[in-house]
Amino acid sequence: MLGRVDPKAAAATLGDGTFIRSSDTVPLALWCAAQHLDSYEAAMTTALDACHDPASDRDTICAIVGSIVVLSAGVDSIPSRWVAAREPLPLSSV
């Protein structure tokens, strides 16, 4: 699925996690990440656009996409407004 493909069409072909199995979740997550390896926000937006069905496994797909893209684009690629809006996570240094 190279080139410009609508995220909903990609989900219809690759699966959107509705069946709660890796073969129905991972392909779409990899496709979304591959579309935007340089932009965390764009990758996450694409994943959410693809997972329009309420039964889709949005949280798992977004977790996979975010994990891949942050490794490629870096932690600084996460929008600062998203970081500021998250729950505080008290971390202690090890």
The dihedral sign for the CA sequence 38, 6, 28, 86: positive
pTM value is 0.85
Residue-wise pLDDT tens digits, 27-78: 999 999 999 999 999 999 999 999 988 888 999 999 999 999 999 999 999 9
| Inside any domain, residue 13 | yes
| Inside any domain, residue 43 | yes
3-state SS assignment for residue 4: coil
| Cα atoms found within 13 Å of the Cα of residue 14, Cβ hemisphere only | 24
| Inside any domain, residue 90 | no
3-state SS assignment for residue 28: helix
Range of the domain at 52: 7-83
Total number of domains in the chain: 1
Cβ-contact 72, 37 below 8 angstroms: yes
Residue 91: predicted pLDDT: 62
